[in-house]
């Protein structure tokens, strides 16, 4: 679906450029955009590699298990089916930590690892409540330190790349609270329906 959408946008742009006589500007914009994309990717790669390395060291050193123990009351309330499983709790913690730091790309492999561990515990083909809530938490996560956003702002010449912090905190906290509340309300409704 997404590929079809991108293809449609490209075709529409080329057709419009041909009709309006702006094909030269389209070619220039294409080259400039490609160059900017490569520069942005390289500038973000350094911070991404550093944080992925940090997260890997934390996992190997046992820090993830300690974090899981510290955060187990919170994770136990959010994910009651994994209350006794420190491995899954550790993977959830690492994913949430990466999201808290605003490292969406770094959080993806950690999230996939956590989801794989959860699916191994799930006997059904239908996602468990914990799996659904985990996807929701990933989609609407709080970002305490949005490293990727700050890196992009700095690469575009921002004098204060972290000036947007209060706005990001308010928006991401509001989104997370709303999503978790809806998830928990739906869970309670399903439990009532199942019990009646």
Residues contacting 114, CB < 8 A, separation 6+: 88, 91, 92, 94, 95, 134
Q: Is residue 16 part of a domain?
A: no
Residues contacting 130, CB < 8 A, separation 6+: 79, 80, 81, 82, 118
Q: Is residue 76 part of a domain?
A: yes
Predicted confidence at residue 102, as pLDDT, reads 64
Q: Quick: pLDDT tens for 105-148.
A: 667 777 888 889 899 888 888 888 888 888 888 888 777 777 77
Domain that holds residue 88: 48-195
Q: Quick: pLDDT tens for 27-71.
A: 888 888 888 878 777 776 776 677 677 767 877 887 766 776 777
**What pTM did the predictor assign?**
0.62
Counted domains in the chain: 1
Q: Is residue 34 part of a domain?
A: no
Q: Is residue 36 part of a domain?
A: no
* CA dist., res. 83 & res. 89, Å (int): 8
């Amino acid at each position: 679906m997404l590929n079809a959408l991108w293809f449609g946008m490209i075709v529409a742009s080329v057709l419009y450029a041909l009709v309006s006589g702006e094909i030269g500007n389209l070619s220039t914009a294409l080259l400039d955009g490609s160059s900017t994309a490569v520069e942005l990717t390289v500038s973000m790669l350094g911070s991404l590699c550093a944080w992925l390395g940090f997260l890997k060291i934390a996992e190997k050193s046992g820090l993830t298990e300690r974090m899981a123990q510290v955060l187990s009351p919170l994770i136990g309330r959010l994910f009651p089916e994994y209350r006794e499983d420190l491995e899954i709790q550790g993977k959830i913690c690492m994913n949430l930590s990466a999201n808290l730091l605003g490292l969406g790309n770094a959080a993806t492999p950690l999230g996939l690892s956590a989801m794989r561990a959860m699916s191994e515990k799930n006997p059904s083909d239908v996602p468990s409540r914990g799996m659904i809530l985990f996807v929701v938490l990933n989609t609407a996560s709080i970002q305490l330190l949005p490293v990727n956003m700050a890196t992009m702002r700095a690469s575009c010449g921002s004098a204060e790349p972290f000036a947007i912090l209060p706005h990001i905190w308010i928006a991401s906290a509001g989104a997370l609270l709303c999503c978790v509340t809806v998830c928990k309300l739906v869970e309670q409704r399903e439990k009532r329906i199942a019990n009646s």
